[in-house]
Structure 1
Amino acid sequence: MKKWYAVIGDPIAHSLSPFMHDLWMDEHGVDASYIPVHVKPARLKESFDALKTLGVGGFNITLPHKQAIVPFLDELDETAIIMDAVNTVTFDGQSYKGWNTDGDGFVRSLMTEQIALHEKVLIIGAGGAARGIAFALKRANFHDVSIANRTYQRAEELAAATGSEAITMQDAEKSLGDFRIIIQTTSVGLAEGEALPLSLDQIQPDSLVADIIYTPLETPFLKAAKEKGCRILNGVGMFVYQGAIAFEKWTGIRPDTEKMIHIITDKLGGNYVNR
């Protein structure tokens, strides 16, 4: 029987996951397909039951279901327990297990750059994406991580959970030159005419500035950092690496991430530079 996998979300039509996974399956001769499934929040449990009945081999979860899916799963990976959020589900023939690969996907992307583990890191934001990245940085042995958020209490809570330091957005702006890696995880500054999450006036020109968003490939934040002479990293790598981790869990095959980053970047209208 042909296997099939899926991604669920609301909305879902924009997702590039089916494009990516289908390419990997074709490339490796995996007799399977991967489909997008539009699931409204009110029908999540009903939809999950339907996926199980129809024999889904595994699936990805995107917004807004990453936390809501948790109570319906049979077990969770340690990272998913810490995160209380899931983006990948595997099925071993008996039980459905939830994983969270977002943070590890980002760190794998980050590690393709010329960086050192002792570099000072600033995470902007304290939401779900920031949480995943903060925990993944800790597991990867980045020890000097600070978290800044508009609501300082949320930064404090995440910092306490990850052994990081919480700082105000104002202090982050003033001390920005001390950080060699700046990671922007919020949606602030994407709207036309909207101010950036923080001023880059104090940034060092050789810093690495990352944004987890990949559409557009260069967010206003990345454009501003590029103008300051910084190296920039968009969210394509994070997207590809988190998908590759899921693909390997489902099939046992480790796909070519470098090639896929090239393909996705080209599909989005950008130019990919091999490192």
Structure 2
Amino acid sequence: MKKWFAVIGDPIEHSKSPAMHNAWFEEMDIDATYIPIHVASHQLESAVAGLKTLGASGWNVTIPHKTAIIPYLDELDELAQKMGAVNTVVRTQEGKLKGYNTDGIGFVRSLEDAVGTTHKNKSVLLVGAGGAARGIAFAMQQQGYRDLTMANRTVANAQAIVDEMGMGRAISLQEAEETLADFSIIVQMTSAGLATGNFSMPFSLDRLTTEAIVADIVYNPLMTPFLQAAEEQGATIVTGLGMFVHQGAIAFEHWLGSYPNTNSMIAQLKAQLGGN
């Protein structure tokens, strides 16, 4: 019987997930389809019930439902529980709904795809303390990164994540700017990555070293202002596209037990987004 999957969110028309998953189904000769479904916040409970009744094998969850969906699920994996957010739902063989969060691990795989796995003892600066930052911090900790510093405008928000992890430290954006040369990996996770509205950098990159690795989690635009500034300083840059593709690939693996070809998908999407 044909399987079907979905992504739910509000808004949803911008999502590249349907094109990505349907291309993988075709490539791997899997009889399945993946559709976008617009779900407003007040419709979430009935939407989850509907997806279950209509036999969806699983679905992705995007803004604004990643936390709100939790009460309607039967269980969560460890990382989703720590993060208090779900982006992937799997319908188990017993018919239960299990929530996962693949965003953080997707970022780590993307980073290691780009620069290898030999940086786990190096100093990491995580800029931001929202949901994405939280997920990436926990995933990096889980994957063996030990020297983590979180910088945020409101230091108390960064400190709360550090306290939960039981490791690392929290600093202000000003201190991050002043000590930038001390960090080998810098990950930009604030809305400053988006080139919309009144753009402002979280801080100056003048003290960035040429040996640094700088990542942004935004993938559209591919080259965010933060990455452009880092490239001008001679740093190695990692765009947010790999994170998007890998988080989708991990969801795909949860649903179907095999990992799709991420390299060809990254190349396809990069061409669509105007990258080289």
**Scaled by the length of structure 1, what TM-score is found?**
0.96
Q: Distance in 2 between matches of 1:122 and 1:255?
A: 30
1:119: how far off?
1.0
CA distance in 1, matches of 2:197, 2:26: 39
The 2-side partners of 1:85 and 1:193 are apart by 28
Report the counterpart of residue 151 of structure 2 in structure 1: 148
* Mapped partners of 1:100, 1:173: distance in 2: 31
Tell me which residue corresponds to 1:84: 84
Alignment partner, residue 36 of structure 1: 36
Letter in 1 for 2:196: A
Seen in structure 2, the aligned counterparts of structure 1 residues 193 and 12 have a Cα distance that, compared at 3 Å, is closer
Letter paired with 1:59: W
AA at the equivalent of 2:12: I
- Corresponding letter in the other structure for 2:46: E
Per-residue Cα deviation, 1:123-170 (whole angstroms, up to 9, x for no partner): 000010000100011011111110000011001101111212101111
1:1-275 mapped onto 2 (5 Å cutoff) = 1-93=1-93, 94-112=95-113, 113-114=115-116, 115-162=118-165, 163-188=167-192, 190-191=195-196, 194-271=199-276
Provide the identity percentage.
52
Amino acid at match of 2:45: K
Q: Shift of the alpha carbon at 1:192?
A: 5.2
1:269: Cα distance to partner?
1.5
Q: Report SS of the residue matched to 1:250.
A: helix
- Provide TM-score, normalisation by structure 2: 0.96
Deviation at 1:260, TM superposition (A): 1.1
Q: Which runs of 5+ in 2 are unaligned?
A: none
The 3-state SS of whatever aligns with 2:8 is strand
Structure 2 distance, partners of 1:104, 1:259, is 19
| CA-CA distance at 1:206 after TM superposition | 2.1
Amino acid aligned to 1:216: P
Structure 1: gaps of 5 or more residues:
none
What is the root-mean-square deviation in Å for CA atoms of aligned residues? 1.1
Q: Secondary structure at the match of 1:111?
A: helix
- Figure out how many residues of one structure are paired with residues of the other and give that number: 271
Between 182-191 and 120-129, the greater mean CA deviation after superposition: 182-191
